[in-house]
Structure 1
Amino acid sequence: MTDDTAADKADERTDGSRRSGMASLANEDFSVIDAIGGPRGVIESMLPGVVFVVLFVATRDLQITVMVAAAIAVIQVAVRLVQRQSVLGALTGVLAVGICLVWAWFSHDARNYYLPGFLINSFWIIVLAVSLIARIPGIGVLVEFIRNPATDHFRQWLAAWRSDRQLLNAYMIVSGLWIGVFALRLGIQIPMYLTNHVGWLGTARLIMGVPLFALAIWVSWLVIATPLHRHRIEERRRDPQAERTD
């Protein structure tokens, strides 16, 4: 749920027991490092963007910049394949980078590398705002679906966590927090886009990608940790045999 796709990719770690991105909020043993994909995930997430902004500012050659950034993204996937590691997150990152690069290439404007990010942030502001109005907070839906996928009996599944007032309030607060994160990105980056400050725009995009995501998801966990833990205990008390994904 960020414009820095590798930051919010929800692929699992190689041991299959840890989730990254927003999905990490469903982990009973939360870790910010796991949430951002570990050191390697951070590098894979940020490297194409760093190369794009640095190379374009240095050369002002959009074609070379796009080709080099694209090559780096592809190499990252190839390295994972050679090492026989999970490539889902890397492929997701390549797809996102590819969309940005194609947009910049065909528009002949380096600024448009960042345009898909604006659209993604705007989309999530709308989705989360609507979910708050409906009092079905989007972050709550995400976390609860990961913990216990609603394959049937959707109304019962929804009521099971929405009836927990403390947990519902926590999810409402966190959903509002993420609206603020996405709005902050747009508020700072769009003026740079409109004034054609590509270098500053790229720098802001990097700072407000993984670093801001890490801060926001840590705060999110602080808000939901206690009510979610209590909710888990109550679930297990009511149904000790229940099998859950968390």
Structure 2
Amino acid sequence: MGLFDHKTDPGDTGSTGDTGKRSGMASLANEDFSVIDAIGGPRGVLESVLPGVVFVVLFVATRDLQLTIMVSAALAVIQVIVRLVQRQSVMGALAGVFAVAICLVWAWFSHDARNYYLPGFLVNTFWIVVLAISLLVRIPGIGALVEFVRNPVIEHPRAWLSAWRDDKPLLRAYMTVTGLWIVVFAARLGVQVPMYLTNHVGWLGTARLIMGVPLFAAAIWASWLVIATPLHRHRLAERAANAESANAESADEQA
């Protein structure tokens, strides 16, 4: 389960007010937001946490890095194979395998189990920097993502930006939520990096699991609470404007 996954049903049109089901941060664009959908459902959660659980438990139990890496890699591949056999979408599982593979390769070549978690530190640092810059330029990253998912128009970027940035309550909500996610990423680093530096692999793995799906679920729910009302009002204003424009065009055609 990626942070910014964008998964839709076949009926998703990608337009304002669509009904596509998305996971990750893109789920904030759903009108019928659900935390369960956001975290990828029970199966998505299982596929997200299982490789990490197996890695930390097996390494702590055996202290055999090679065995731990091979079992974790095999598990990730099995998840994709199961989806293929069941003729289900494998994109999310493939993304998970790719992420796990990077961690495993890093640990393998460094001969240090701690480095399984190092790519996660880099990802969190990257998003802190990106989101902080987005706040400085007053184009909040979370808002830009949600609006692009709702209305992926790229032909007139200035008009697209103005359409939601001129809505002051919505902009404030997006700024707040973007700041919230900076805190989430910073908290992960603040808790986990000291464990990495002191070589507490077991505690680091446990912290990684707790600050993974559970923290993500709590943060995305808080994000929805912040943006739900202003986004709903913005949608209503959009629909009213679109209806007025359609009526005007119809009147012009009849004239």
* TM-score, with length taken from structure 2: 0.91
Q: Is the 8 A contact 1:139 1:171 kept in 2?
A: yes
1-side partners of 2:142 and 2:6: how far apart?
17
- The match for 1:3 is none
Aligned to 1:76: 79
Amino acid at match of 1:107: S
- For residues 100-158 of structure 1, the C-alpha deviation after alignment (integer angstroms, 9 at most, x for no partner) is 00000000000000000000000000000000010000000000000001221000000
* Structure 1: distance between partners of 2:33 and 2:110: 41
Match status 1:204 vs 2:207: yes
| Aligned with residue 7 of structure 2, among 8, 12, 16 | 12
Structure with more contact order per residue of length (Cα contacts < 8 Å, sep ≥ 6): 1
Secondary structure, aligned partner of 2:21: coil
* CA contact 2:170–2:231 (8 Å) conserved in 1: yes
Specify which of 67, 71, 81 is matched with residue 64 of structure 1: 67
For structure 1, which runs of at least 5 residues remain unmatched after alignment?
Answer: 1-5
Q: Secondary structure of 1:239's partner? A: helix
Q: Say if 2:148 is the partner of 1:145.
A: yes
Gaps of 5+ in 2: 12-19, 246-255
CA contact (8 A) 1:25 1:221 kept: yes
Change in CA separation of 1:87 and 1:9 when aligned onto 2, cut-off 3 Å: farther
Per-residue deviation, 1:26: 0.3
Is 1:166 equivalent to 2:161 in the alignment? Answer: no
- State yes or no: 1:115 paired with 2:118: yes
- Measure, in 1, the Cα distance between the counterparts of 2:124 and 2:49: 18
Worse overlay, 226-235 or 10-19: 10-19
Instruction: In structure 1, give the amino acid aligned to 2:128.
Output: I
1:32 aligned to which of 30, 35, 46: 35
Residue type of the partner of 2:217? A
Provide the secondary structure at the position in 2 that maps to 1:81: helix
Measure the CA separation in 1 of the matches of 2:110 and 2:23: 33
User: Quick one: structure 1 residues 14 and 73, their matched pair in 2 at CA, closer, same or farther if it must change by over 3 Å?
Assistant: farther
Paired residue for 1:224, among 218, 222, 227? 227
Q: In terms of Rg, which structure is larger?
A: 2
Q: Amino acid of the residue matched to residue 165 of structure 2?
A: R
Deviates more, 1:146-155 or 1:196-205: 146-155
Task: Letter of the 2:183 partner, please give it.
Answer: G
Who is 2:139 aligned against?
136
* Letter paired with 1:12: K
How far residue 14 of structure 1 moved from its aligned partner, in angstroms, is 6.0
Does structure 1 conserve the Cα–Cα contact (< 8 Å) formed by 2:47 and 2:79?
A: yes
For 2:204, give the aligned amino acid.
L
1:53 equivalent among 53, 56, 60: 56
Work out whether residues 7 and 213 of structure 1, in 8 Å CA contact, stay in contact via their aligned partners in 2: no
Distance in structure 1 (CA, Å) of the matches to 2:4 and 2:58: 26
Normalised to the residue count of structure 1, the TM-score between the two structures is 0.94
